[in-house]
Amino acid sequence: IDIYKAAKDSVAYITSTVYQQTFFFEMVPTRALGSGFLISADGRILTNNHVISGSSKIEVRFADGSRYTGKVLVADRADDLAMIQIDPKKKVPFLKLGDSDALQVGQKVLAIGNPFGFSGTLTTGVVSSLGREIRNENSTLEGLVQTDAAINEGNSGGPLLDSQGNVIGINTAILAPSGGNIGIGFAMPINRAKAMLEDFRVGKSFGRPRFGASTVYITGDLAGELKLPAGGGLLIQEVGRGSAAEQAGLKGYRDVVLVGNERLGIGGDFITEIDGKPVTESDALARAIARKRPGDTITVKVFRAGKLLDVAVKLGEVPEEKF
C-alpha cells in the first residue's frame, strides 16, 4: 500500500496518435495506450519504444488529472526503450532506479500501469525467471525479467518495482496465446535503460553490444561426463560468422550428442569465468554484456583441449532492427 501511494503520482499514462493509410488512401488517426514513469523532477519519462514509435502526437497524463504533450528525446529500438520529455510548470515526483543485476527469482515485484485504459492499476507477483529471450519476426529482446505480475495491453512502458519501491524493470511484453494475461510477462531490466541514459547524458551514440555466440549452461554430472570442469560454465554452441566471438578465436561445437530428448553440441569452448567472475547462472553472459557498450572488451576464461585460456573479446554492435 505504501509503495503504491508513493509511486502512483509518478506513473504516466501515454496516448500516442499514429496516422495510417486506409484501403481508400485516406490518412486515419489511430490511438494506442501505454504507460511510462517519471525519472526526474524536470519531466523526463522512460517508456517502451513501441509505445511511442511512429507517433505524430504523444499525450501524457497523470493520476492528478494533469496533461502534457510529450517530445521524444531518445529511442533505442534494439532494446525497445525510449525517453520522452514533458514541460511541467513545477517540479514533479519521480521514481528511483534500482539495480536489476541484484534481482533474484522469487522476490516480490509490483507493476503499475494503464491496462486497457484502466489507469492507476496495481498488480503484484514475483520474479519468475531471469535472462529470458523473446522473439518476433522482426526483432529479438534478450536478458528480460520474467514475472507473473499481471501485465496486459496498456501496461507497456510502466514500472516494475521491487519491495522497496525502486524501479527494477520496464514492463515490455506478455506471452498471450489466448489474447489475455496468463501470468507470463516480461520486463526490460532497468540497468539496460541506465546505459541508454548515460550515453544520452554524455552525448554518445548508443547501440546494443553483440558477443556473437550461443551458449548452453552446463554443470555437475553432465559436465563431468563431457570431461568439462564440474564447477560449471557456458558451453559454446554456434559462433556467428564475422562476429566478435569469431574474431577473438572462440570455437563452436564439433559434434552433436543427445541428452535426453535434446541435441547438444559438444567440443566447443567452455566459458568458466567472465571478467574474472565464475559462471554460476545461465544468463551470466547476457548480464555481463548488458553492462557493456559496443567496442568494449569482455574477457572470458575458456576450457579448451584440457587447458584454461583467457580470451579478450571486443564486442560488436547489434544491427538496427525494424519494429
Clarify whether 101 is annotated catalytic.
no
Of 152, 121, 97, 94, nearest to 13 by C-alpha is: 121
80 carries an active-site annotation: yes
The active-site residue out of 76, 80, 148, 162 is 80
Catalytic annotation, pick one of 10, 100, 156, 243: 156
Q: How many CA atoms lie within 13 A of 17 on its CB side?
A: 11
Please say if 10 is a catalytic residue: no
DSSP 123-146: EEEEEEEEEEEEE-SS-EEEEEEE
Asked if residues 74 and 196 have their Cβ atoms less than 8 Å apart, the reply is: yes
What is the distance between the alpha carbons of residues 173 and 156, in angstroms, rounded to a whole number? 7
Q: Are 185 and 292 in contact (CB under 8 A)?
A: no
Contact 292, 298 (CB under 8 A): yes
- CA distance from start to end of the chain: 37
Which distant-in-sequence residues (6+ apart) come within 8 Å of 185 by Cβ? Answer: 111, 146, 147, 148, 149, 150, 151, 155, 171, 173, 174, 175
- In the set 10, 35, 50, 269, the catalytic residue is 50
- Just list the catalytic residues: 50, 80, 156
